[in-house]
Chain A
Amino acid sequence: MRSGGAHWWFVGPALFLMVVILLMPILMAGALSFTSYSLGNPGAAFVGFDNYEKIFTRSTYAKMFGATFRYVFVVVPLSVGLGLGAALLINSTKRFGDLYKTIYFLPVMAALIAMAIVWEFALHPTVGIVNSTLERGCGTFLEGWSWFARGCERGFPLWLTDRDYAIWTVAFIGVWQGFGFNMVLYLAGLTSVPRELYHAAEMDGAKSAWDRFRLVTWPMLGPTTVFVVTISFIRSFQVFDTVEAFYPQGGGPSKSVYVMMFAIYEKAIQQNLMGIGAAITVVFLAFVMFLTLVQRWLVEKRVHYS
């Protein structure tokens, strides 16, 4: 075959854009992570693996991983489970389905930074609706619960500023915000389940809703579930706006809400330590890459039917 240069003109533009827009920034972050570069400095010193050593040895970063993983492992199962539950319920109702869909999807559409104000107000220690509602329960049977009794005695928790509660509260808001999105994905998945399979299951003797779920719904939602779980993982790793809105300074009480995205922002942007910021970015990308590979493997191995 005659070797002309034409093929470069076909693939060239796409290749160029891919390298410049997608690959270069990642490679630059990788390169920066081995230096002590600060924005504005004329040069930077090569520091080898110093930045990575810091990430895996210093207690601040131990807290960062702790907060991130707590958040991720609360938000992912709950938002996936609630999303599936809501989708199944909405799918089974004949009326008001669209209304419920809209309501559950509202938190996804609303900007979290704006909703954070509402939550901050609701969770306010004294005037917030959460604690004032809880206080009304004092003196009732609820005091039989020791946690509740303690709350009545010494005041209910400072949800956002107590280091024992802060990360869980933020995770709760993450679930509240995220499950509507998963619900929509599951609803789309449910529409593609063939009706005849339910009829076949019924003829085969599947009498309970659980039997039908086990035999048809859950397996047929397999591909959707892999996608929903992966997306939820990546979205939870990326949580930033809630933390920034509630704790603009320093990642919550005793850095208990110091999630990765916030750490990158704080180090690289606020403190102008580009090197360490880039190193955290690389670690973050490694997590996401790992999850994506797991997803690919699952899709190919387990849930590929046709």
Chain B
Amino acid sequence: MTAIALKAIEKSFGSTRVLDGIDLSIADGEFLTLVGPSGCGKSTLLRILAGLEAPTSGIVEIDGRIVNDIRPASRNLAMVFQSYALYPHLSVAQNMMTPLKLRDLSFAGRLPLVGPLLAREAYRSILARVEDTAQILKIDHLLDRKPGQLSGGQRQRAALGRAMVREPIAFLMDEPLSNLDAALRIHMRAELAELHRSLKSTFVYVTHDQAEALTMSDRMAVMMDGQILQLGAPEEIYNNPVDIRVAEFVGAPKINLLPGTLDSAGHARFGDMVLTRVTDGGDAGPVTSGPVTIGLRPEHLALCDSGAPQSLSGRVVHKENLGADVYLHLAVQDGAHRIVVRTTPREGRTASLGRTLHVRRLEDQAMVFGPNGNRLGLSGVAGRTVAEVA
């Protein structure tokens, strides 16, 4: 079931076009991530969905209802802000009570001092819900503190709690983890994903960190320059990017992009390295000739002995040791290009800076992109037969 649908959303600030025809439908209970570099329009899209910003044109639908003219307060969405936006003068409990108070209490019930006396029952149930939520988030011991007395992680939980006390149609999160330190961010990734599984409600999550998108989402939309370049499951996006910009943005360390050429049979080649599969132009047969870009992820390369066929050799210029993996940066073709290779710690230990190493690619992993950045299909079967000839 579709919970949220965005249709042909466009947004311009003056003459600057920020969003350019966004179509997106988000299923009920889905964890959808909008990911992209700064300034790609992902936050603007989220704010349009929330209603904090009006689209220049296009339709926003929530639960099958067009909400373009409905104000944010009436859209029944909850939002977690990057700065958390907790009310600094209220305790954590009061912060979490605010959305319930504003929605469930009459004007008289919200009056200070006399309010709790007039609407005693309502207050009791609100308090109970706040305490339940606080227990889930493990902040029940912090309820009396002011936001100023909390650490970053605790504030983040309080902001999450304020969103969770109600049962909104969807949770909108605008880079909620970007103000946390690295270790806590990784911890909160797992916790948010777990929370999503237990709440079973729709999450729309904005981030510039591709790792967050890959680890948490059911589907992710990679945005750039006001457009959604690719929408799909994280594995699909990582393994099968349709655009060179997507391939470059997703994955750390970045994918190796090598300038290559297509020969007459449709094989892409870079130096001595020739891809076995041929580019597939559909019914028209192999696409031939012209410059292409060959994409090889660091894990699609392996060290090999010198003289191995189709290998590349390069000088080690930098070594990144991540413990479980060691990434070697090699300068190939006399330093004209740099490639990053993932190796095991055992292999990495012997690779000292300045040494010349040889790498080969793993079969069937390379991606080929056309001159305008679009992905070219590779046909495996045809390629293998031709490979013998080449």
Residues of A within 8 A of B (CB): 194, 196-197, 199-207, 211, 215-216, 219-220, 222, 303, 305-306
Contact = CB atoms under 8 A, between A and B. Distances in A.
Most buried by B among A197, A201, A204: A204
A201 B50 CA distance: 13
Contact of A206 (B50, B78, B102): B102
A200 B81 contact: yes
Interface stretch (B82-90, B263-271, B356-364, B367-375): B82-90
Nearest to B86: A200
B149 to A, nearest CB: 9
A199 B81 CA distance: 9
Contacts of A197: 85, 87
Contacts of A211: 102
B376 interface: no
B98 A203 contact: no
Interface stretch (B34-42, B66-74, B123-131): B66-74
A204 B102 contact: yes
Contact of A306 (B73, B77, B103, B148): B148
A203 B148 contact: no
12 contacts: A196-B85, A197-B87, A200-B87, A202-B71, A202-B72, A203-B79, A207-B71, A305-B88, A305-B89, A305-B146, A305-B148, A306-B148
A213 B112 CA distance: 14
Interface in B92-106: 98-99, 102-103
Contacts, number: 66
A199 B74 contact: no
A157 B121 CA distance: 56
Contacts of B51: 202
Interface of A is mostly: helix
B73 A216 contact: no
B373 to A, nearest CB: 36
A220 B72 CA distance: 22
Interface of B: 50-52, 71-74, 77-79, 81, 83, 85-90, 98-99, 102-103, 146-148, 162
B99 A204 contact: yes
B70 to A, nearest CB: 11
A71 B170 CA distance: 56
Query: Which of A199, A216, A219 has most B Cβ within 10 Å?
Result: A199
A199 to B, nearest CB: 5
Contact of B162 (A199, A204, A220): A204
Nearest to A203: B79
Given A194-B83, A216-B87, A306-B148, 9 more contacts: A194-B85, A199-B52, A199-B79, A201-B98, A202-B71, A203-B72, A203-B99, A204-B99, A219-B89
Contacts of B73: 202-207
Nearest to B97: A204
Nearest to B53: A199
Contacts of B89: 219-220, 222, 303, 305
6 cross-chain pairs, A with B, having the tightest CB-CB distances, nearest first: A200-B85, A205-B102, A305-B88, A204-B99, A219-B89, A196-B85
Contacts of A216: 87
Contacts of A205: 73, 99, 102-103
Contacts of B146: 305
B97 to A, nearest CB: 10
Contacts of B103: 205
B88 A306 contact: yes
A298 to B, nearest CB: 13
Nearest to B51: A202
A235 to B, nearest CB: 27
Given A202-B72, A204-B99, A196 B81 contact: yes
A306 B88 CA distance: 7
A208 to B, nearest CB: 9
A201 to B, nearest CB: 8
A40 to B, nearest CB: 57
A303 B89 CA distance: 8
Nearest to B162: A204
A196 B87 contact: no
Contacts of B162: 204
A305 B90 CA distance: 9
Contacts of B148: 305-306
Contacts of A206: 73, 102
A267 B148 CA distance: 52
A226 to B, nearest CB: 13
Nearest to A306: B148
The CB with the most chain A CB atoms within 10 A, among B72, B90, B162, is that of: B72
Nearest to B88: A305
A196 B78 contact: no
Contacts of B52: 199, 202-203
Nearest to B90: A219
Contacts of A203: 50, 52, 72-73, 77-79, 99
Contacts of A199: 52, 72, 79, 81, 85
B122 to A, nearest CB: 15
A290 B52 CA distance: 46
A196 to B, nearest CB: 4
B79 to A, nearest CB: 5
A211 B111 CA distance: 11
A205 B78 CA distance: 10
Contacts of B83: 194, 196
A216 B77 CA distance: 20
A106 B83 CA distance: 39
Nearest to A222: B89
A207 to B, nearest CB: 5
A198 to B, nearest CB: 9
Q: Name which of B78, B79, B87, B162 has the most chain A CB atoms within 10 A of its CB.
A: B87
